[in-house]
Amino acid sequence: MRALLLAYPLRMRRRHGAELIATLTDLAGPSGRVDRSARRQFVLDGLRERFRLPAGRPTAVVAAVLALIAGGALGAAGGAFAATSGYADLPAPAAMAQRLSVPGSTPISRGASDHYLGINDTLPAGADPAAVAERTRQRLVADGWSVEPVTIDDAAHFKAERGGIELSVYAYGGEMRLRQIAGWPLRPAGFGWLLGGGLLLGLLTGWLLAASMAHRIVASGRPRVNAGLAVGGLVALLVPATAFAVSLWWYLMKAGSTGMGGLLRPDVWGLSGDAARGLGLTGPPAVDQTHWLLTFLGVAALATAGVLTRRQQDWVRGREAAGPGS
């Protein structure tokens, strides 16, 4: 029965624990068991208290909204990054290059990482880029790839897809005489569920943390200072949250796959490459992962400065015990 008390926030369990236990005892009656409807109502009342903000405190509302936004953005990004574990494994570039080789071509580079495949060849003099692209296309069809027709503008180009992997093939004529094959994993199945789950969890966590902090700040001996620190920490938290949100928006809203630069990768702390370039930037922000991590740590320290220390809690309880005239 005491486990039901956990539905209430710590501040209420400390100040009104005896009353809550007495309420449960009355609900249990002689049988010693609380019926289901009473348990449900008791828990709902406790959860309502966890979400409730202090009355007449506009700063608490501002903080809760900021925490809601930051929490939702970071939660959605966390769910999206978790989904990257479902990215398909890319084929070995050397084996693929040999299978798709063009007679008379000269290898330039073969490379692959966890999320990118690149094959570049110099074509023989006089090679027809359309014929090279069509030859590559037919080889991919024979290997079970789903391919688009070859289109010709500045280069002969088509895309292919198989097993959660997309290839983009370009063949250039003239002085370039180049064939480029780039590959990357497509958005994995279940991405939307993890994204939505992360978003919901982030929203709930952000609001609950803001509500808990607001009540602690109101009860502290220096509410204005603590409130300023807490709001400042939440504003700072919006910076990385915005970077995550922009990269996520770019990944979701751009038509088709945008290649390696558009992929969400768990090792990226800022804007993805395509998102940054789409905003008119030359690349991701010139801040490495260590600095982003230090930013998070600084934000955490700034925000938690608004939480009551044990000494402040003792001071508040002492004032309450002494009465209003103390």
Query: Per-residue DSSP letters for 19-43?
Result: HHHHHHHHHHGGGT---HHHHHHHH
Higher local confidence (pLDDT), 270 or 199: 199
**Which amino acid, one-letter code, is at 205?**
T
Q: Quickly tell me which residue has 């003099």 as its tokens.
A: 125
Q: What is residue 325's predicted lDDT score, i.e. its pLDDT?
A: 45
Q: Residue 17: pLDDT above 70?
A: yes
Judge whether 289 and 265 are in contact, CB under 8 Å.
no
Instruction: Tell me how many degrees the CA angle 136-138-143 measures, rounded to the nearest 5.
Output: 95
Class of domain 93-185: alpha beta
**Exposure of 311 by Cβ count < 10 A (0-12 exposed, 13-18 middle, 19+ buried)?**
exposed
Distances (CA, A) of 190 to 82, 83, 196, 323: 10, 7, 10, 57
**For residues 197-218, average pLDDT:** 87
CA distance 217 to 43: 25
In residues, how long is the chain?
A: 326
What average pLDDT does the structure give for the chain?
79
Q: Residue 107: pLDDT above 70?
A: yes
Q: Where are the domains of the chain?
A: 1-52, 59-85+190-322, 93-185
Cα R_g (the chain), whole angstroms:
29
Which pairing describes strands 156-162 and 151-152: parallel, antiparallel, or unpaired? antiparallel
Q: Residue 272: pLDDT above 50?
A: yes
Digit-coded pLDDT (tens) for 215-241: 877 776 667 777 777 777 777 777 777
CA distance 210 to 195: 22
Q: Residue 306: pLDDT above 60?
A: no
What percent of the chain lies above the pLDDT cut of 90? Answer: 26
Residue 171: pLDDT band (50, 70, 90) is very high
Judge whether 96 and 169 are in contact, CB under 8 Å.
no
* 171 backbone dihedrals φ, ψ, rounded to 5°: -130, 120
Give this prediction's pTM: 0.70
Q: What is residue 242's predicted lDDT score, i.e. its pLDDT?
A: 78
Q: What is residue 158's predicted lDDT score, i.e. its pLDDT?
A: 96
Q: What is residue 255's predicted lDDT score, i.e. its pLDDT?
A: 43
**For residues 48-65, average pLDDT:** 85
Q: What is residue 218's predicted lDDT score, i.e. its pLDDT?
A: 76
Judge whether 180 and 20 are in contact, CB under 8 Å.
no
**For residues 209-220, average pLDDT:** 80
Q: What is residue 288's predicted lDDT score, i.e. its pLDDT?
A: 47
